[in-house]
Amino acid sequence: LIDTGLEEQSEVLLNALETKGVDKIEGLFVTHTHKDHIGGVNAVANAYDIDKMYRAEISENKKNGENKIDNLASENFLPLVKLKAGDKVELADGVYFDVLGPLVLNEDDDNDNSLVMKLMINGRTLLFTGDMQFAEEQTLMDAGVDLSADILKVGNHGNKDATSDEFAQAVSPEYSIISTDTTVDTNSASKRVRKALSESTIYVTEEYEGGITFTILENGDINITEF
């Protein structure tokens, strides 16, 4: 599971996990410290056994030096693993995450310290970006990171301060997913981002009651269903 949404939306997340038949979480990846990504951690931890919690080694600390994700892991008695660029997380035989970023600490906005990972499965690639914005995107492109992916989880809910034209071209996804509720975040799923990703098929989560499932078959075919 990558991120947990707002605390007040925990029931939606738990219902989705139940619908998908989840009975245990082997890994909970938390991309950064903002409340719309960590708010549901306690609810998920209360509902499921979680083997490990993951965060980026580079992460914004509070003024007292503590880290919100570290505190959540401690409160819920979860083993915490800190990931850095170049790490690989094995999920199953031939299925793994390559950790791409963050590469440098951004002291201005923890969005740009987001854990960025590429999932490899059955010859397909999925890029998970957290709330990465222009600054972190640029550090990855400058470092020559291979960002190409078949499926893109669009950064920062499709807000216009993320997914630059150059980044969209570097990824060149076949499918793009924007996770948002535009009635709450009116700047999300922006026209500029949609235009940048116009060569891909774009899905926006608010258009579905539960969500969207991308299933990567053994032969590499992609099945898409809503629930």
Please give the Cα distance from 184 to 129 (Å, whole number). 21
Per-residue pLDDT at 210: 79
User: Mean pLDDT in runs of 10 for the chain (227 residues)?
Assistant: 96 93 97 97 98 97 94 97 98 96 97 98 97 98 98 97 98 97 92 97 92 94 93
Instruction: Render pLDDT for 5-27 as a digit per residue (tens, 0 to 9).
Output: 999 999 999 999 999 999 999 99
Contact (Cβ atoms closer than 8 angstroms) between residue 189 and residue 180: yes
173: preceding bond cis by omega (within 30 degrees): no
Contact (Cβ atoms closer than 8 angstroms) between residue 84 and residue 59: no
Helix (H, G, I), strand (E, B) or coil at 29: strand
> What distance, in Å, lies between the first and last C-alpha atoms of the chain?
17
CA angle, corner 199, sides to 196 and 204, nearest 5?
70
Per-residue pLDDT at 188: 94
Sort strands 25-29 and 50-56 into parallel, antiparallel or unpaired. Answer: parallel
- Give which of 181, 185, 149 is closest to 168, Cα–Cα: 149
Per-residue pLDDT at 227: 82
Sort strands 151-153 and 175-178 into parallel, antiparallel or unpaired. Answer: parallel
Tokens encoding 128: 């998970």
Instruction: Identify the residue whose tokens are 């931890």.
Output: 45
